[in-house]
Amino acid sequence: MKPFLTAAGLVAVLAGVSPLLSAQWQLPPGAGVPKTPDGKPNLNAPVPRTADGKPDLSGVWANPWATAGRGGRGSPPAPVPAGGIPEATFGNVGAGFKDGLPLQPWAAELVKQRMADNSKDNPDAHCLPMGFMQFHEHPQFRKILQAPGVIVIIYEANYGLRQIFMDGRSVPKDPEPWWYGYSLGKWDGDTLVVQTVGFTDDIWLDINGNPLTSAGKVTERFRRLNYGTLEIEITVDDPKAYSRPWTVKVSQRIAPDTELNEFICEDRDAPHYVGAKK
Amino acid sequence: MTIRPLAILAVSVGVILAAVPVLAHHSFAAEYDRNKPVTITGAVTKVEWINPHARFHMDVKDDGGKTVNWEVELGSPAGLIRRGWTRNSLKIGESVTVAGFLAKDGSSLVNSTTVTLSDGRRVFAGSSSETGTNP
């Protein structure tokens, strides 16, 4: 979780402004974590590999930008090199595009209304699953489990769960509309390429409410650059909602000193929500 | 204890606002009013250690002397645990002062910014109104 703030860093920051009673909840790095000479996790160590020689993406991962408290609505995305693929944010996946996302007129109107309504209808705000980009961008952690034939991602936030089938199967002819879609993965060299279709309608990609519809096709390219760094390039091709495909990037960092908490979402807030018309 | 606006506290809150990430699952503005800061003091009556927002209840006397049970929203247990807080960090019957923001719908509900014990120590720092990801 460096160079963004770690849990310890947050406590330190808070300790500077108020007397605190807490101690940090932290687990010791597990077995197999490469260490620097001073005993800390070596984030620059080589990429771990599975028995078949493919990169092993397994681990608990953090979105550093979001975990540091950035990425909300209106805040800028993480900086990228000139000409690079823009980073998405939890608040606005299109934050890195100068002219915003290429929304179809109806979708632009929808986003405008959702924002005016304080995003009160965001599925997440009702304990329903987040759109997959919200999961990628969420400040809470996610855990990748890589097994022969399948890769599973558990998202701590709302206990989201994705399966990426790696066994060479085809997409069902008429896939069920799913919140997480139907994901098939294959390796392109050291890059895991995941293609997903079969989404339900009305998925929110971010807090602003940029949509994803059942016409959407999503391609994610996962690259583990070293022990500590995972980059994901995401291309959304949803002609119903957008006039052209668009691509964003998400950067994640290994979190070897924590684990997922159970997260059963109990909705107590929705009865209090107030939109634009009240 | 009475309920009053707390403009001065809002300034100190700003210091924390800039530093602490938040795991609010809903838009702050959908439920709470940033223009209505409050501070309330009273005894804790119940703690609910649930996601996505831990919360507790407290008895507060209004200006007329009538006791009203208030609900106080915190951050998520998942996030609070990582900062060292537990479901036992706050005791039933303990006197606390809460600074935060009122619910827009007029209910006795506060999104807490700080929760301070009678000896001045704070618990649950980094709670849900300290917006970062989900204003």
Tell me what ipTM this predicted complex has.
0.79
- Determine the distance in angstroms separating the CA of B6 from the nearest CA of chain A, rounded to an integer: 18
Backbone angles phi, psi at A136, to 5 degrees: -60, -35
User: Region A77-100: what's the mean pLDDT?
Assistant: 87
The rounded distance, in Å, linking the Cα atoms of B110 and B124 is: 14
Question: Minimal Cα distance from A13: which residue of B?
Answer: B19
Q: Mark which residues 46-75 of B lie under 8 Å from A by CB.
A: 50-53, 55, 73
Which CATH entry fits the domain spanning B7-123: 3.40.1110.10, 2.40.50.140, 3.60.110.10, 3.40.640.10?
2.40.50.140
From the list B16, B84, B133, which residue is nearest A11 (CB)? Answer: B84
How long a stretch of residues is chain B?
135
Q: Give me the pLDDT at residue A213, please.
A: 97
Residue B12 has pLDDT above 70, yes or no: no
Residue-by-residue DSSP string for A58-99:
-EEEE-HHHHTT---TTPPPPP--TTSPPBP-SS-TTTTSTT
- Determine the distance in angstroms separating the CA of B121 from the nearest CA of chain A, rounded to an integer: 5
Residue A55 has pLDDT above 50, yes or no: yes
B14 vs A: CB within 8 A: no
> Among candidates B12, B30, B81, which has minimal Cα distance to A14?
B12
Higher-confidence position of A8 and A79: A79
User: Considering only CB atoms, which chain B residues are within 8 Å of A263?
Assistant: 51-52, 76, 78
Residue A79 has pLDDT above 70, yes or no: yes
> Among candidates A267, A60, A261, A266, which has minimal Cα distance to A156?
A261
H-assigned helices in chain A: 7-15, 64-67, 105-116, 132-137
Residue A248 has pLDDT above 50, yes or no: yes
Cβ–Cβ of A139/B133 closer than 8 Å?
A: yes
User: Considering only CB atoms, which chain A residues are within 8 Å of B72?
Assistant: none
Cβ–Cβ of B132/A265 closer than 8 Å?
A: no
Cβ–Cβ of B25/A258 closer than 8 Å?
A: no
User: Considering only CB atoms, which chain B residues are within 8 Å of A21?
Assistant: 84-85, 89, 117, 121-123
Enter the pTM of the model. 0.83
Pairing of strands B67-73, B109-117: parallel
The rounded distance, in Å, linking the Cα atoms of A210 and A227 is: 33
- The residue ranges of every structural domain in chain A are 45-258
Q: Give me the pLDDT at residue B24, please.
A: 62
User: Region A56-74: what's the mean pLDDT?
Assistant: 81
Mutate to test the interface with B, among A92, A93, A269, A278 (most CBs of B within 10 A): A269
Cβ–Cβ of B133/A72 closer than 8 Å?
A: yes
Among A31-45, A160-174, B4-18, which range has the highest average pLDDT? A160-174
B102 vs A: CB within 8 A: no
User: Region A72-80: what's the mean pLDDT?
Assistant: 74
Q: Is A123 exposed, middle or buried (0-12, 13-18, 19+ CB in 10 A)?
A: middle
From the list B16, B21, B53, which residue is nearest A139 (CB)? Answer: B21
Question: Minimal Cα distance from B134: which residue of A?
Answer: A72
pLDDT tens, position by position, A127-142 = 999 988 999 999 899 9
B27 vs A: CB within 8 A: yes
User: Region B51-80: what's the mean pLDDT?
Assistant: 94
- The residue ranges of every structural domain in chain B are 7-123
Pairing of strands A191-197, A203-204: unpaired
From the list B27, B79, B83, which residue is nearest A120 (CB)? Answer: B27
> Among candidates A207, A140, A225, A152, which has minimal Cα distance to A183?
A152
Q: Give me the pLDDT at residue B71, please.
A: 97
User: Considering only CB atoms, which chain B residues are within 8 Å of A138?
Assistant: 133
- Determine the distance in angstroms separating the CA of A207 from the nearest CA of chain B, rounded to an integer: 7
User: Considering only CB atoms, which chain B residues are within 8 Å of A269?
Assistant: 25-26, 31, 53, 73
From the list A10, A17, A66, which residue is nearest B83 (CB)? Answer: A10
User: Considering only CB atoms, which chain B residues are within 8 Å of A17?
Assistant: 12, 15-16, 19
